[in-house]
Amino acid sequence: MIDLGTLAGRLATATGRAARGTIDADRHLQRAMAATIEIAATRYALDPGDTWKPGEPLKLLFAGYAGSRNTGADARVEEMVRQVRHLLGDAHVDLSILTVDPRWTCGYFRTVKQIELPRVFPRFLLDTVHRQHGVIACEGSMFKSRFANALTTMMVGALGLAAAENKLSIAYGGEAGHMDPPLRRLVARYCRDSLLVVRNEQSAEVLGALGLKTQPGTDTAWTFEPHPPERVRPLLEAAGWDGRTPVLAVCPIHPFWWPVRPDLGKAVSHAVTGAHRDAHYASIYFHDDGPGVKDALEGYLGGIAAGVERFRKGRAILPVLIGMEALDRGPCEDLAARLGGAPVFVADQHDHRTMVGLLRLASMVVSSRYHACVTSMPGGVPSAGITMDERIRNLMADRGQPELVLEVDDPDLGEHLYDVLCRLERDADAITDGIERTVVTNLERMGRMGQILVEHVRARHPDFPLRAGLGAEGDPWDHLPPLSDDLAALVARHAAPRRASA
């Protein structure tokens, strides 16, 4: 008699061979998405669907990564929504957003309808986009294979469907990086008629190599406002903070288990025996758990712990672990144990305004999360990055502080982190000044993105009731959503002389 373990092993072996030999779920999904876009183009010739008419709200769908409790993804979309509402007017838009889990976006994105995104989405997108007047792709890691080809496939699908139906098709403030060849072909073919606003020059170069035209932009999280200190401070105090000791916020990830890929063999084994539980992401998708992953993670977390422990000797400083996404809980708890039981705060238990509020209370931030750096910067918090890809590297280059970037696989990470922490402490004022100037520069870029958006809507819908003074001839600062008092004061300090001389 064969037991369940033996049966699962045989099933996994057979299914794994099929998956490696003939079944590539990512590739099949891309083909299905391409076919769906072609169907939409044919259908449009016979049935234009819901086209905008003067006097009715403009229906826009935000397509991204909401619902995973990723603080950065949610913060940037909150501000994107606020900017769109500010520019187009609440009375003139009807906004919707895709979410993978409505429970984790409950209370987010005010005035925006939330639509649950199924795991298998081509037909769903075909029907959903048909009922809209346009799509705004809103995920930061928009055109990349680094995390999951399926995510980029979904956003390209939404953009391509909108373009096929001659609707607004806008990629807003995203980043492009390495893509697998089939994904590159999908992007090149179905994003050629979209407005592509990218958040750095490096992304423009990647998409330009595919023959695509882009517009310059930035991230949209710069205007995000967290909960005030008095609301967040009690969380730290309950975790043992005395209210005076400087806080070092450390934001670790698991850098080595990406990308997420479909694996039918593992899916069968997981379903029958529960194997690969730690690597299971969702459905048939699994993180990389191959040889070397555990050792690489040990080197990364051990290096961070060594650098922080060396730095805190002889100093009064409280390390705090910040998990910017729910997936970060494991690395945070592991690192906390290595640091003697440091406090842990993870996005699966705290909303995005609380998480950013905690970052703003820190004296220093060391992060492998791009948006931990971005959202702490408006508070002037000195920060450094330990990066797995180009995003933090690009950000620090933009700040003129490339020396504040380390690599996740650095064999001497502990020693180099100690040096960076000493630099953050020693040069805090100069680093903060550079950070604040970079924030203001990116706010102006975000305003110019708003001008680009307005002109695009105006060109496609000349009868849309845009306010006077908006667009290319206006002031980019008028195209930002309302700023907090602290952010307005920062702009006044650094942007007023520049604006006066312009």
- CATH of residue 360: 3.40.50.2000
pLDDT of the residue at 284:
67
pLDDT band with cut points at 50, 70 and 90 for residue 375? very high
pLDDT of the residue at 84:
98
* Number of domains observed in the structure of the chain: 2
pLDDT of the residue at 290:
77
pLDDT of the residue at 71:
97
pLDDT of the residue at 280:
72
Question: Closest by alpha carbon to 169, among 128, 135, 203, 207?
Answer: 135
Same domain, 160 and 269: no
Evaluate whether 350 touches 69 at the Cβ level (below 8 Å): no
Whether pLDDT at 289 is above 90: no
Same domain, 241 and 305: yes
Same domain, 187 and 271: no
C-alpha Rg value of the chain to the nearest Å = 23
CA atoms of 146 and 258, how far apart (whole Å): 6
Evaluate whether 476 touches 444 at the Cβ level (below 8 Å): yes
Question: Closest by alpha carbon to 117, among 95, 106, 101?
Answer: 101
Q: Measuring CA to CA, how many Å separate 148 from each of 25, 171, 281, 285, 428? A: 12, 18, 11, 9, 37
Evaluate whether 293 touches 300 at the Cβ level (below 8 Å): no
Write down which residue in 412, 434, 456 finishes a domain.
434
Same domain, 98 and 195: yes
Is 157 within the bounds of a domain? yes
pLDDT band with cut points at 50, 70 and 90 for residue 3? very low
Same domain, 292 and 420: yes
Average pLDDT over residues 409-436: 97
pLDDT of the residue at 148:
84
Whether pLDDT at 364 is above 80: yes
Is 439 within the bounds of a domain? no
Per-residue pLDDT tens digits for 324-360: 999 999 999 999 999 999 999 999 999 999 999 999 9
Same domain, 175 and 59: yes
Average pLDDT over residues 268-278: 73
Specify the higher pLDDT residue, 364 or 273. 364
- CATH of residue 109: 3.40.50
CA atoms of 440 and 449, how far apart (whole Å): 14
Same domain, 170 and 244: no
Sign, CA torsion 277/278/284/289 = negative
Average pLDDT over residues 131-156: 93
Specify the higher pLDDT residue, 258 or 174. 174
* Full domain range(s) for residue 236: 229-434
Question: Closest by alpha carbon to 376, among 339, 324, 336?
Answer: 324
Is 360 within the bounds of a domain? yes
Phi, psi of 344 (to 5 degrees): -125, 130
pLDDT band with cut points at 50, 70 and 90 for residue 10? very low
Same domain, 212 and 304: no
Separation of first and last alpha carbons in the chain: 83
Is 202 within the bounds of a domain? yes
Specify the higher pLDDT residue, 95 or 290. 95
Same domain, 207 and 250: no
Same domain, 213 and 240: no
Is 95 within the bounds of a domain? yes
Is 461 within the bounds of a domain? no
The residue written with tokens 């750095």 in the block is 200
Whether pLDDT at 481 is above 90: yes
Q: What is the spatial order of strands in the sheet that 364-367 belongs to? A: 344-346, 318-323, 247-251, 364-367, 383-387, 405-407
Write down which residue in 217, 240, 262 finishes a domain.
217
pLDDT of the residue at 497:
57
Whether pLDDT at 397 is above 90: yes
pLDDT of the residue at 7:
32
Whether pLDDT at 19 is above 90: no
Per-residue pLDDT tens digits for 65-90: 899 999 999 999 999 999 999 999 99
Is 348 within the bounds of a domain? yes
Write down which residue in 217, 242, 265 finishes a domain.
217
Q: Measuring CA to CA, how many Å separate 492 from each of 15, 54, 251, 289? A: 62, 39, 31, 49
Same domain, 124 and 162: yes
Same domain, 207 and 278: no
Is 382 within the bounds of a domain? yes
Q: Hey, what are 347's tokens?
A: 């996005």
